[in-house]
Structure 1
């Protein structure tokens, strides 16, 4: 799925924008509903981003080079769109006569990416919990601890050795194939908690 992208051109002579149909749509309009002006465009920018976007607009005019900016616009239905705007000056015989660019709505892509990352984090968390539960079970069986005491022993060992709890749990679970190593590890983890 592509990101909706609209194009725009601003003329210094008319002080008006020319917007593509998609640009109107991003702002919640249809062609013919309004005449796009600089003031209208600024009014749709999230107030938290407005000053920065205006400064970049001024910078574009001074430096006469392409600029890109990530900001939020609010359409006529109060929906927020996270957009990337890219613009450059339009020149005629080395004189700047306007600005041309495009605006891409990244909202859906950002939402999809955030959703994917959240799902991955939940999956990692579930994996971590599972190995920690296994390690607790090992300590409960080998050292005759309650579930709370087993978790406390793992946590304290993690703090004392400055290692992640998950790493310690994974090592303990991996040691189940080596009974002597497992017993030594379990004793070490639990002995530290007696101090």
Structure 2
């Protein structure tokens, strides 16, 4: 019995063993997904309707070939794409590759391809079959989320630094430039981030109660900047 993703019984089309590839693609379940089949003897490529759409075509616009497919791969990824297809066709899989594709309208798509051999009833390889996942929207959504989180984190850091500067201005008599220079110098000498030093200033200021004399509060804050 063949062990590839597909077994081609007599007078039957290839059957997908979905459990074999589910783990690889479950995170892309909402992404457009096409399929391609290539049969060695006839050199015929069969694309699903969704794969035509991923390439920017409708069925009937073009005849699928290896050269057509590779022409849509971005130049820097073509060597990887060709090596993937060659290994898939000769040794089988499952194998996966991540590539950039430019569709017929010039749009860049990020695709994940995973495939394996098609076997006949005798267990002989007769072709290859692959899933092509257009992960573009998913990647861009993740990128936007990461960017938004970075902006939010940056805003929090700025707020902490500004609060620390305000404490130094109000309690140590420094101006804004001097306050930031003190914080920055402390960051460099201790090899810690500016926001960490700023938070230390805030924490120390909060620990100093109104019972402390002003001079004592100022001295306690400035002690942070003494060389250890």
Same fold (TM over 0.5): yes
TM-score range, shorter chain: over 0.9
Say if 2:176 is the partner of 1:147: yes
Mean Cα deviation higher: 139-148 or 119-128: 139-148
Q: Equivalent of 2:55, from 27, 32, 40?
A: 27
TM-score by length of 1: 0.92
Structure 1 residues not aligned, in runs of 5+: none
Tell me the number of residue pairs that the alignment of Structure 1 and Structure 2 aligns. Answer: 192
Q: Which residue of 2 aligns with 1:137?
A: 166
Distance change >3 Å, CA 143–CA 190, structure 1 → 2: farther
| C-alpha contact (below 8 Å) 1:175/1:182 kept by paired residues | no
Shift of 1:14: 1.7
Q: Which residue of 2 aligns with 1:37?
A: 65
Structure 2 residues not aligned, in runs of 5+: 1-28
Stretches (4+) displaced over 3 A: 180-185, 189-192
Shift of 1:185: 4.5
Shift of 1:94: 3.2
CA deviation string 1:37-94 (max 9, x = no partner): 1111111111110011101111122322211010011111111110001110112223
Distance change >3 Å, CA 16–CA 184, structure 1 → 2: farther
Root-mean-square deviation (Å): 1.7
Q: Equivalent of 2:89, from 61, 70, 84?
A: 61
**Richer in helix (by share):** 1
Q: Distance in 2 between matches of 1:61 and 1:110?
A: 29
Q: Which residue of 2 aligns with 1:162?
A: 191
Shift of 1:182: 5.4
